[in-house]
Amino acid sequence: GENVEQHPSTLSVQEGDSAVIKCTYSDSASNYFPWYKQELGKRPQLIIDIRSNVGEKKDQRIAVTLNKTAKHFSLHITETQPEDSAVYFCAASIWDKLIFGTGTRLQVFP
């Protein structure tokens, strides 16, 4: 069935370094790829998304890249800050629903 794999499951970086989270999806019909950030005890919140007709999208320190041929997409966070510490989820659209990855716990150490 539809599947989204996310790696790594945990990621620790020093403040100011970059962080990269990678996802792969199985359904070639997927055309929408959002990323969510979930702080401890809070709801997941959309931080950036990309559609299949775009290869890269940036929003300040956050960027997402998409390789449709390889069915890969990635989240890049530059100049990480302690407030970036959270769990990040990728997702891929399958018709009228989103399938989520298993999450990456990012810890940014001062």
CA distance linking residue 105 with residue 19, whole number of Å: 11
Pick the binder of another protein from 37, 44, 65, 74 (CB under 8 A).
44
Give residues 46-85 in contact with another protein (rule: CB under 8 A): 46, 49, 51
Tell me the three state secondary structure of residue 95. Answer: coil
Region near another protein per CB under 8 A, out of 14-22, 67-75, 77-85, 96-104: 96-104
Q: Of 66, 51, 71, 65, whose CA–CA distance to 3 is shortest?
A: 71
Tell me the three state secondary structure of residue 15. Answer: coil
Verify binding: residue 24, another protein, rule CB under 8 A: no
Residue 15 and residue 62 in contact, taking contact as beta carbons nearer than 8 Å:
no
- Which neighbouring-strand residues pair with 75? 21, 64
Region near another protein per CB under 8 A, out of 10-18, 54-62, 71-79, 89-97: 89-97
Pick the binder of another protein from 28, 45, 67, 81 (CB under 8 A).
45
What residues make contact with another protein under the rule CB under 8 A?
Answer: 1, 6, 9, 31-32, 34, 42-46, 49, 51, 89, 93-103
